[in-house]
Amino acid sequence: MGGTLTATASTVYFNDFEGPASLSGLSIVDYSLPPDSASVGVQSGQLRLDASYDRTYIVANASSFAAPYCTILKNNPGTVTWAFNVSNMDGTQNNSFFFCPASDTKGAWGYYSSYLLWGGGFVGNALEFYRTTWYTPPPLLLQIPSSDGLVTLPSKGSFRITYEPSSDLWSFFGYVGPEYVDPTTVTTLLGSVVDSSFTSMSLPYMEWGGSNMGSDFFDNISVNVVPEPAAASLGLLAMAISAASRLWKPKLRRDA
């Protein structure tokens, strides 16, 4: 028995924000300061968040993602990929966007654990990757320079974050241009870093949104898991052994 084995990605979460129903099952958190308030809705097939001085963001329950995803990142059977389109529009203050897998629903900062990709706002057009803790500021793991970051509209960003359980390697791929592209196909590497601080604990939430005055737009958010070839090989071998056993047992009985 022979052949070529390729690992196929499993899409465990996807949202293209086509209509109000796309917000079903998602929580909206608004930390706006009164009397101001934020707004969240679907506009032209995108998620639009209008923050007001503080954070406004979406929380998805990662525990409900399809198999084989595991909220303990280290226990996933292969590379985990988060991909999304994003753009932002400044208001009276520098607008920021963020995206993170997290242990709680505090929205990027607070007394909890998460890996946070932060862009815009007071970091300019750079992208920053943090390991958030109760420290202020949290440990900065990686900074992607402004030349590769996302400027405000009309520029549009397509980003892909990958985590490899076998090596604890985080990699960031991105494309910024006049139009979105499929973020799962972006191959331009912007930077990478090794960190295992929170990968052996459960991060049961996925959060994304913005802060300060301005609008943030998200689209085509997906999470994929690509099983390692070794794990797939073991599964294929087990099926082959089982099939061979079923074929040979009748012959053995006839020869007895």
Q: How far apart are CA 13 and CA 240, in angstroms?
A: 31
Please choose, from the candidates 57, 5, 13, 8, the residue with its C-alpha nearest in 3D space to the C-alpha of residue 31: 57
Residue 251 within any structural domain of the chain: no
Residue 245 within any structural domain of the chain: no
DSSP 84-105: EEEEEEE-SS--EEEEEEESSS
Sign, CA torsion 242/246/247/252: positive
Cβ neighbours for 74, distance < 8 A, ≥ 6 positions apart: 165, 168, 196, 199, 200
Residue 233 within any structural domain of the chain: no
CATH code of the domain in which 166 resides: 2.60.120.200
Tens of pLDDT, residue by residue, the chain (256 residues): 333 344 577 999 999 999 999 999 999 988 876 666 788 999 999 999 987 777 789 999 999 999 999 999 999 999 999 999 999 886 545 568 889 999 988 755 555 788 988 886 555 678 889 888 766 667 889 998 887 888 888 889 999 999 999 999 999 999 999 999 999 999 999 999 999 999 999 999 999 998 777 789 999 999 999 986 644 444 443 444 444 444 444 433 444 4
Residue 236 within any structural domain of the chain: no
What pLDDT is recorded for position 152? Answer: 82
Q: How far apart are CA 213 and CA 44, in angstroms?
A: 21
Residue 244 within any structural domain of the chain: no
What's the structural domain count of the chain?
Answer: 1
Sign, CA torsion 98/99/101/104: positive
Q: Model-level pTM?
A: 0.83
Q: Which residue has the tokens 């990757």?
A: 129
DSSP 19-44: SGGGGTT-EEEE-PPTT---EEEEET
Domain extent, residue 127, equals 10-227
